[in-house]
Structure 1
Amino acid sequence: MVDRSIVYKDAELFFKLNGTSVMKLTANAAVNVCQLATKQNIRVNRIEGGIWHSPGFESRLDCIWDAKDWLKGNGLKNNMLAIEFIREEATNHQAFIVSIEKVT
């Protein structure tokens, strides 16, 4: 079960605990989640950045990235754009929520 009162640093826990849409991650962990998702042919759907208040996540409306519909068939490029977004926003935001397509 995801502990919503902490920011996770381990991308592998994202998949073990089904952290999509709820797990708060450091910028490095969020980038690693996107990389691992790419290796597993999973498309990143959304990135939400915010400010961590320990505990407490303040979602920022100016820090939301949505998957590119025009890249629906190209998960690699889509996920690379997600990674680029996280890296650009990491200077102003301490925590990120990654949403991926449901893994079956």
Structure 2
Amino acid sequence: MAIIRDHLYENSEDFFALDGSAVMFLSSEAAIEVCLQCASKGQVVLGIEGGNWKAQRFQIALDCIFDGVEPPVTANAAHENNVRISEVIKKESKKRDVFIVTSMKMDGSED
């Protein structure tokens, strides 16, 4: 199954099953769950982009782009980073309803 570009995903498991990093539009709830699950799946959140979903399109909010840490990082550092980013999403979700999460393996490898 491929990522549907004009679809808002509300299930965090879709992010991992479809390799949604940097391309998948996630509801705020799903984005929070993704961040909280990343470390247990060996990933660190590199950053998020927030915006709003209008007419089946993502409208980015330029004031809602946040960076995480860059690998390689320890599991503990990844967990702390990912929790921090999830808290940013919680705060921003008062104004934004869609997020793109970019993640990578903690060790920086691509496979």
TM over 0.5: yes
Q: Which residue of 1 aligns with 2:33?
A: 32
Structure 1 runs of 4+ aligned residues shifted over 6 Å read none
Residue 10 (structure 2) pairs with residue 9 (structure 1): yes
Q: Mapping of 1:1-104 within 5 angstroms? A: 1-68=2-69, 72-73=73-74, 74-102=77-105, 104=111
In 1, the alpha carbon distance for the partners of 2:49 and 2:94 equals: 14
> By percentage of residues, which structure has more strand?
2
Partner SS state of residue 91, structure 1:
coil
CA contact under 8 A between 2:44 and 2:69: conserved in structure 1? no
CA contact under 8 A between 1:42 and 1:75: conserved in structure 2? yes
Aligned residues: 103
> Runs of 5+ in structure 1 lacking a partner?
none
TM-score, normalised by the number of residues in structure 1: 0.91
> Runs of 5+ in structure 2 lacking a partner?
none
Cα RMSD after superposing both structures: 1.6
TM-score, normalised by the number of residues in structure 2: 0.86
CA contact under 8 A between 2:3 and 2:18: conserved in structure 1? yes
